[in-house]
Amino acid sequence: MRPLELVNNLRIFLPPDLVLYETEDLRPYECDGLSAYRQTPMIVVLPRTEEEVIRILRVCYASKTPVVARGAGTGLSGGALPHSKGILLSLAKLKRILEIDSVARTARVQPGVRNLAISEAVATYGLYYAPDPSSQIACSIGGNVAENAGGVHCLKYGLTVHNILKLRVMTIEGKCLEIGGTCLDTPGYDLLALMTGSEGMLGIVTEITVKLIPKPEKAQVVMAAFDDIRKACDAVANVIGAGIIPAGMEMMDKIATHAVEKYVHAGYNLEAEAILLCESDGTTEEVMDEIQRINEIMKKSNAIDIRTSNNETERLKFWAGRKAAFPAAGRVSPDYYCMDGTIPRKHLARVLGGIEKLSIEYGLRCMNVFHAGDGNLHPLILYDANQPGELKKTEEFGAKILEMCIQVGGTITGEHGVGIEKINQMCSQFKTGELEIFHAVKAAFDPDGLLNPGKAVPTLRRCAEHGAMHVHRNEEKFPDLPRF
């Protein structure tokens, strides 16, 4: 179907200003937060209701037009990169909080609701929504479901998949599926977990029922500085080894702390090679005991400076730098490329040492900011896209980081998803049989491959063309990877 014919079909039930096709109107949608890759969509539609979403999907299914769903556009893997001959389906106008049940501790919301807006809406009941990505002030809950987003407090409270109960999902044919439920268990396959993190490839989520938890009586954070990043990594292991599961445990290296301190003035020790933030929450008695134990562990781990927040203002100030790491990177470099890989905690120092060697090899600075407690790394490779060949070097650098993660028993993503950015590394992460199963699942939901095509799961042909080979865990693909 020709673009103008498709526009006319859509405008039968959508106002003209909600069906965009002029080039200047399409430009704002050509990329997500991973701005290194851009593609102008053929058409953008902005439905206001679930019924309009259904009708859009039926038009696309009948005309075999690709569909890419988009939330707030804060994703960092190119998952919402448009299709040049497809429709970009923005869910930004579906932003109503439909129901709050303070007794059951649930909220039923539309996908365009901002992550932070949920906690703001339920604060009066003494409740909040736990997953808190750094972009929570802007990112939408629908996008969080698509990528299985995490955040600084997910060590204790889990990722998105652990904090949702039910989804309403529209298939490419425009049929409604209700997945999950409000009971403790439901019969059949766990399609809720399958749908969470599926990156818009299986269906379009139009409603989410999330879990809410009581706001803790008290929260306090210990900020410890170390003169050696290996000591900071050891401290992480020592805290977990002591049986403590902090509400959050985050680390930043020296490059990162210098960047964020100039931006937010959080009071970080600029002489330190690494800063570790470790938070406890719960009752006052629980927090007092846990904070004392954490302080003792930091001392035994040879921290050179230890500070404990004395009030809520100071606690938020300590966290402000970590939350602002990505915008801070944008202040010190023309461009940055944010990676996302996860490794066993015991290999933190080893992989960080490997990243440092790669930084020297490629001549590119790298800020390391990460969820230390669960081994989720976010190396920020600093580069200048205006310099010829520098983006290509950056991509190669990032690919080697992900392959290191696989080698030590980790994975190529922790919360950002695969999108287009890491699709080649999927060939390294998984074997042929596993990729075939992924394609079979995709075909069961979307046999024509119209939903977010070309993302997340590579074809076997692509893997062969790129010469990608499966990287077995612990094989010596990087024989000079430091061993600490």
Band (pLDDT 50/70/90 cuts) for residue 468 is low
Give mean pLDDT, residues 265-279.
96
Query: CB atoms < 10 A from the CB of 64, how many?
Result: 10
Question: Which of 57, 74, 90 is the endpoint of a domain?
Answer: 90
Give mean pLDDT, residues 409-434.
96
Looking up residue 170, the CATH number of its domain turns out to be: 3.30.465.10
- The answer to whether residues 337 and 460 belong to one domain is yes
At position 95, the amino acid (one-letter code) is K
pLDDT reported for residue 480: 54
Residue 483 lies in a domain: no
d(CA 258, CA 248): 21
Asked whether residue 39 carries a pLDDT value surpassing 90, the answer given is yes
Question: Which of 168, 191, 214 is the endpoint of a domain?
Answer: 214
Band (pLDDT 50/70/90 cuts) for residue 484 is very low
DSSP, collapsed to helix, strand or coil, labels residue 375 as coil
Looking up residue 53, the CATH number of its domain turns out to be: 3.30.43.10
Residue 405 lies in a domain: yes
pLDDT reported for residue 465: 87
Q: Could you tell me which of 42, 93, 48 has the C-alpha nearest to residue 66?
A: 42
Mean of all residue pLDDT scores within the chain:
94
Residue 484 lies in a domain: no
Asked whether residue 297 carries a pLDDT value surpassing 70, the answer given is yes
HSE on the CB side for 363, CA within 13 Å?
Answer: 7
Please give the torsion angle defined by the CA atoms of residues 445, 449, 450 and 452, in that order, rounded to the nearest 10 degrees: 90
Q: What is the pLDDT of residues 428-454, one digit of tens each?
A: 999 999 999 999 999 999 999 999 999
Question: Which of 186, 214, 242 is the endpoint of a domain?
Answer: 214
Looking up residue 282, the CATH number of its domain turns out to be: 3.30.70.2190
pLDDT reported for residue 423: 96
DSSP, collapsed to helix, strand or coil, labels residue 221 as strand
Band (pLDDT 50/70/90 cuts) for residue 477 is low
Band (pLDDT 50/70/90 cuts) for residue 102 is very high
pLDDT reported for residue 187: 87
- Whose structure tokens read 């202040």? 331
Give mean pLDDT, residues 135-147.
97
Asked whether residue 154 carries a pLDDT value surpassing 60, the answer given is yes
- The answer to whether residues 202 and 225 belong to one domain is no
- The answer to whether residues 210 and 227 belong to one domain is no
Range of the domain at 168: 97-214
pLDDT reported for residue 469: 47
Angle formed by the axes of helices 254-264 and 325-332, nearest 10°? 90
Asked whether residue 195 carries a pLDDT value surpassing 90, the answer given is yes
Residue 474 lies in a domain: no
HSE on the CB side for 406, CA within 13 Å?
Answer: 23
Give mean pLDDT, residues 293-305.
98
Looking up residue 437, the CATH number of its domain turns out to be: 3.30.70.2740
Query: CB atoms < 10 A from the CB of 461, how many?
Result: 8
Residue 482 lies in a domain: no
Helix (H) or strand (E) holding 296: helix 284-300
Give mean pLDDT, residues 12-32.
97
Band (pLDDT 50/70/90 cuts) for residue 34 is confident
Asked whether residue 466 carries a pLDDT value surpassing 90, the answer given is no
- The answer to whether residues 342 and 461 belong to one domain is yes
- The answer to whether residues 296 and 416 belong to one domain is no
Residue 439 lies in a domain: yes
pLDDT reported for residue 400: 97
Give mean pLDDT, residues 15-23.
97
Structural domain count, the chain: 4
- The answer to whether residues 270 and 385 belong to one domain is no
Residue 82 lies in a domain: yes
- The answer to whether residues 68 and 179 belong to one domain is no
Residue 286 lies in a domain: yes
- The answer to whether residues 192 and 229 belong to one domain is no
- The answer to whether residues 181 and 122 belong to one domain is yes
Percent of the chain with pLDDT over 90: 92
Q: Say if CB 353 and CB 478 are below 8 A apart.
A: no
Band (pLDDT 50/70/90 cuts) for residue 283 is very high
Asked whether residue 472 carries a pLDDT value surpassing 50, the answer given is no
- The answer to whether residues 9 and 25 belong to one domain is yes
- The answer to whether residues 257 and 192 belong to one domain is no
C-alpha dist (Å) from residue 346 to 235, 242, 244 = 11, 15, 16
d(CA 366, CA 314): 28
- The answer to whether residues 39 and 162 belong to one domain is no
